[in-house]
Amino acid sequence: MRLWRKSGSPEPAVALVAAAGARNGSAQDRFKGDVQEVARQRLVIASAIFALAFVAVALRMGYVSMLRDGAEPTQRVAARGGAIQAERGDIFDRNGIVLATSVPVMSAFANPRLVLDPKEAARKIANVLPDLKYEDLREKLDADKTFVWIKRGLSPREHDLVNRLGIPGLDFQAEERRIYPQGTAAAHIVGYASIDNAGLAGVERYFDQQLQGGEPLQLSIDLRLQRLVEAELARAVAKFSAIGATAVVMDATNGEILAMASLPTYDANKAKTITNEALFNRATLGVYEQGSTFKIFNHAMALDSGKATITSVYDASAPIKIDKYTINDDHAQNRPLTIPEIFTYSSNIASAKMAVEQGPEAQRAFFDKIGFLKALPVQLPEVAAPLFPRHWMKINTMTIAFGHGISVTPLHLATGSAAMVNGGILYPPTLVKRTASSPPGRRVIQVKTSTIMRQLMRLNAVQGTGKNANLPGYETGGKTGTAEKPGRGGYRQKALISSFVGMFPMNEPKFVVLVSLDEPKGIAETGGYATGGMVAAPSVKVIFENIVSLYGILPGDMNSLPSLEIASAPAPQAVPAPRAIVHPRHRTLEQRKALPAKAGQTNAATGAGVRRLASE
């Protein structure tokens, strides 16, 4: 088969002529070539512009998602409102009463570049929002920015008034506002959250991740008891001109904190007014020498070791001189004392000799065992570690026996005291209701030692320094403590930490109550004394009275009564996130206040032989 070549390019010489003709062809041919060249150049330029625009958009997206200041809203919601994506979880007391909740609010912001007349706009806004200063508003609206906050957390009325101004460049953002319906009640426990709904203190901060996810939190405290404790503490501070005070009420059988107060306090609804002094939680963050309340642990250590018995005698005839120090007794008996006498007369001399008999290593090991050498694992960020000697010498052993030379928090004292009287089990303190999965307690002293400690506590309330806390008809007990505060060059004799830790009923302790006053002043009623027995023990008695009244505990022979259990109710079920507020007629803040549990709601059935205390 014969193959024919397809007609193609001319011969080389002919091709060269043709190319020359194209270059030097007619004007029409040259014009077409120029147009094609211009079109190609424009296409290149347009592609470059699109590429630059794409890069700019990508950079802006990266800035918005990762680098933008958190003060600028992450989403714009029209003034007519929109749904909130996730609501911060509510906080409840043990009976389902709301301690902290969130309400939807509108916040005003502006784009200064869109505001036509900054001065006039600032004047109008200041007229409807008188808490804002005209100068500050004008400065914001004159700024060379695209975003400035005007006011966050507007009330429904404020939102309506600002919206009616119709100022170009002014807009609104739907947000949540954290409110605390109970005001100052349990402030140091609940804490508070920032305007951006981030926990800053208390359980608001400790459980921030859980609350941010919308999960509610139920605490162990009883709001009713909390208010009673706070009222009595405030009365004592005023009566004795103290600079501060703290109180703890704990369930001795499981470590649940039923109430905890610290003065001075604050209102989380007014976060801008909170001072560092008011924010300081004396119960968990303050470390103090606790004075003679430490004789509780000194006696328990000696009795539990077997080196001392209830009939042991220690000589308290004369002061102890060691190095340049002298150990004296405030209620000197100037004779040998038995174990019960040492406790009721609160003898420093005999307590020091008891401790020396145990030795520094044994004493340190005992305090380590009961958790007094480390911070407590309570659910608060505001916790402090104890202060104790790095080198535990003989003189340290002596002074620590009566509560000097070691500093712990009041919550340490309450927790340790509970273990000494509840049968010898140390429970970690908790602000959350205990469940089956909660950490178990651990034994720190023998049952027989705990039984003796109950008897000593009861004896002290009847015959010793704790008589002002004795409640007739109820088996109450406890121990006083008065410690001089350290200062420059030694201790300040007129600056005292005066405490009383009490518990009842002593046959089977359920409640541990601690009251501690910082620098109380003696009055005529107390003979000028400001000791723990004079200023703190009476307040513990009042709290005892409040407890028996609140929970309906009748006087009588406590040995014949079944075990006590404090009732509680489950927290209300979470509700869907509300819509943003758009008008004053919509839901007000009052509608989110205390929400008691529904009638009939209780925890698991109470076991046989357990007397349930009323929750209402």
C-alpha to C-alpha distances, 609 to 425, 554, 605, nearest whole angstrom: 21, 17, 12
Q: What is the pTM of this model?
A: 0.79
* Dihedral sign, Cα of residue 150, residue 153, residue 157, residue 159: positive
Q: Would you say the CATH fold of 227-554 matches that of 91-219+590-613?
A: no
Task: Return the DSSP state at 277.
Answer: H
pLDDT of residue 224: 97
Locate the domains of the chain by residue range: 91-219+590-613, 227-554
The Cα–Cα gap between 338 and 327 comes to: 19
Q: Which residues in the chain land under pLDDT 70? A: 1-35, 38-39, 55-86, 556-565, 567, 573-616
Q: What per-residue confidence (pLDDT) applies to 574?
A: 61
pLDDT, position 569: 76
Please give the pLDDT value at position 71: 47
Paired sense of beta strands 325-327 and 257-263, if any: unpaired
What SS3 class is residue 272? Answer: helix
- What positions carry a catalytic annotation? 292
pLDDT value at residue 486: 87
- Per-residue pLDDT, 27: 60
Which string of DSSP letters, residue by residue, matches 484-531? EEEETTEEEEEEEEEEEEEEE-TTS--EEEEEEEES----GGGTT---
In whole angstroms, give the CA distance from residue 466 to residue 382. 31
pLDDT single digits (tens) 422-462: 999 999 999 999 888 888 899 999 999 999 999 999 999 99
Specify the DSSP class assigned to residue 334. -
What pLDDT is stored for residue 75 in this prediction?
40
* Contact indicator for 533, 480 with CB cutoff of 8 Å: yes
Instruction: Decide: 614 and 94 in contact? Cβ < 8 Å.
Output: no
pLDDT at residue 38, as a whole number: 67
Residue 20, pLDDT score: 45
Structure tokens at 278: 């008011």
CATH of domain 227-554: 3.40.710.10
Q: Yes or no: is domain 91-219+590-613 CATH 3.90.1310.10?
A: yes
